[in-house]
Each structure stands twice: as C-alpha cells, then as structure tokens.
Amino acid sequence: MTIGTTRFFGNNSELFSRLNSELQSLQTQAGTGKAELKLANNIEDISKLSAAEEKKSDTKQLLNNSQRAQTDLEVMDVAFERLQNLLVRLQELAVESANDTLTPVERERFVGEASMIKSELIDVANQKDNFDNSLFGGVSGAEKPFHQDANGLVKYAGSSLAKEIQVTSGLAVRQNFSGSEVFQKINGQNGEFSVFEVVDDLIASLKIDLNSGKSSNLFSSSQSATIRLPNTGPKANISFTIEAGENTINLSQDIFGNDFSAIASSINSQTAETGLTASFNGDNELVLTGNINELKISEFVYEGDSVADPTIQVVNSNDGTIIEDIAQKHLQSENIRSKIRNVFEHFATKRSEVSAAARRAQDAEVSAQDILLVLEEDISEIKDADLASILTQLEFLMTQKDAAQATFTRVTSKSLFDFLG
C-alpha cells in the first residue's frame, strides 16, 4: 500500500467517524427534542443558559426559604396563642383573688395555680421550632434561653437580635424573636417590666393576708400616732384610706423623692371634718394628731419603683416601737390587672408581627414559583431543538455519508490495471 493509499484510507476513516458522530448527535436531538449546545457555535445561547440556570438555583433557594419561614412562623403563632390563653387565666386569677374573704386554703390554691402559669410561661419561652431552634432565643442558638435562678427570678441568656431569613433578593423576614423583646421589654405606666415579674407580684400578693391591712384604736393610749411610709425612689404613687371616727379620707398621691408633705397637706385640708391633723417630719414619717377615739388605716396600695413587700408601719410615738405593719393590698389595686392588660396588648402586637411576616413569606413563595415557571420556559426555549433544521441537517449528512461510501467503494474496488489503463 502506497503513502497516497494510506492517506486516502485515513481521511475517509476520519470523515466517516465525523459523519457518524454528527448523525448520532442529530438523531439524539431529534428524539429528545433538546438541542446540543456546543461552545464553538453556541456562545450566546450557552451564556444565556448559564445565567438562567444560576437564577433558577437562587430562586429555588428563596422558595425553600419562604416555605421554611412560613413553617417557623406558624409554630410561633401557636406559641403566642398559648401565651395569650395563659394570660387570660392569669387575669381571671387576679380578679377572683381580689377578695377580702379568701381563706388561707383558697389563697394557697391560687398561689399554686399562679406558680403553674409561671412554669408554663417559661416552657413556652423555651419552645423550639420544627428544626430544633429556639423560638425566643434570637440569633444566639441558646438551648434554653430562659431559666430561673436560685431566688426564683427568671433570667434571659439569649440574644437581643432576632434571626431572619432571606425570602426575596431584597426582603428578609423574621424566623424567631429575641426573648427579651417578647417577655421582658413590656411597656407599662412606670416603664418596662417583664411578664414574669407580674406573675411574681401576683403570687406575692396572694401570700399577703389581706385582712391584716387595718389598724384600729391607734389613739387608745395617746392622742398621736406616727405613720412610717415606704421609700418611693424618684417617683411613686401611694394610696390608702384613713377612717377617723365616722369620717373617711381616701388618699392617693404622687410622691417624688420621699417627700410626703403632699399627703400631710391633703389630710390637713379635711381637718374640719375629721378632727385629724398631720405633719411630715422629713424621715418618711407622718405624725397624726387628733381629738378622736378611733382611727383605722386600710386599703394601702403602692405603685412605683420596685420595693420588696412595701408596707405602712404604725409606730408608737412615745418609744418608736412598731405597733403594726399594714400590708399593701395588691389584689384590690388596679396595678397587677393593668400590667396583665399591658402584657396582653404586647403579645397581641407581637403576634400581629408574626402574621404580617407570614403573609410576606407567602407572597414571596408565590413570586418565586412564578419566576421559576418563567425560567423553566426560558431554559426550555434555549435547549429546545429546531426539529425542521435538524431533519434538514440529517438529510444532508446522510447524503454526504452515502456519497462518501460510494466513492470509497469505487476507489477500493479498482485494481492497478484500472489505474494504468
């Protein structure tokens, strides 16, 4: 075999291989309906396809995020519903317990139920979502963001920042709450407080004997009595009732910096009716004097900066000994019930934030699904083969292959004599 013959066979072999490869590719495209994109001749389509595939991947992630957010927010909404139900019962306890005739057994029963409510509040505060993440721990990932210390006070160990998840290219929604935001930073008349403090106040008030809030016959041995009032801090409101003989004085006064002179002035404004006068000695004490046989103090309510078990002390003016402590009448004050209403409004606001976030996540899910449909169409359009063009190319290549085979057959069948002739 000569060099020319070898080259002829090699060239034809390469030709047949190329033709068979192209025919196989076109037959595959005709069968699947999908074009085969090659960098050499489809640079623009390949670039479009790459961008569309990348956007599709990103959109799928946003779709998953929006669905995850809705799941988390649904669990959170159920948690807030449970919190609101606990508050309803707490308010009922506060109302039912505001009764001077409660027996010690009844009071102890109410204390037990209030303590159970506190435990359930802590359980909800430590609740997790379906993926074992804390609902109220913020971004910290704390296993149990709330715990009670040795004194029974509830402490928060989570983050002050809430966790968020991206649901669109320009929008993130919350996945949880900071526990301090929900349970501790509740706005009240005298500043922020926590829901656990309200329950503790209710429990403390239930433990106080409400009938101990009356002092009588204070003038049996002298014509004066000293009333020692609790420290108020910068500001507080103190209310109590004085019964002087047949006359009653209902006092309610804002106090600033332990200055009780305003209470003395209020008592003195009614001296003509009660026969009672008062003076403030500057040491948290009021000195009451009068020409009466009986005096009673009751209905004591303190609202202001935290004071442990505030009381009014009745002091013997002669020797300074304490005759009686008049306990604050928590349950008949509006203070606890007012704070419970504040908490209820606070939880309702936070629950509405959950609902709003869930709606945004749902809208994001719908938007992502719509975008994916468009992207699928775009990708399909880029990938879809032009069937008519493919069939034309198939026909052309088959013709080429047949011609090449015919030429090869003729050449290889000739002898040396055919070429010499």
CB burial of residue 311 (10 Å; 0-12, 13-18, 19+): buried
In 3D space, the residue among 249, 251, 238 whose CA is nearest the CA of residue 284 turns out to be 238
Mean pLDDT across 12-23:
57
Mean pLDDT across 35-58:
69
Residues 354-381 pLDDT 10s: 999 999 999 999 999 999 998 888 777 6
With a cut of 70, say whether residue 419 has pLDDT above it.
Answer: no
With a cut of 90, say whether residue 126 has pLDDT above it.
Answer: yes
Residues 310-362 pLDDT 10s: 777 777 767 777 766 666 654 445 678 889 999 999 999 999 999 999 999 99
| DSSP assignments along 112-179, one per residue | HHHHHHHHHHHHHHT-B-TTS-BTTBGGG--S-SEEE-TTS-EEE-S-SS--EEEEETTEEEESS-BH
pLDDT at 411: 55
Mean pLDDT across 241-252:
80
Q: Which residues, including other chains, have CB under 8 Å from residue 398's CB and lie 6 or more apart? A: 23
In 3D space, the residue among 177, 6, 190 whose CA is nearest the CA of residue 83 turns out to be 177
Q: Model pTM?
A: 0.60
Mean pLDDT across 179-200:
92
Mean pLDDT of the chain, nearest integer = 78
Q: Domains of the chain by range and CATH?
A: 56-206+336-369 (1.20.1330.10), 211-329 (no CATH)
Instruction: Quickly state the pLDDT bin for 10 (edges 50, 70, 90).
Output: low
Mean pLDDT across 396-412:
59
pLDDT at 217: 47
Instruction: Quickly state the pLDDT bin for 309 (edges 50, 70, 90).
Output: low
CA distance 28 to 35: 9
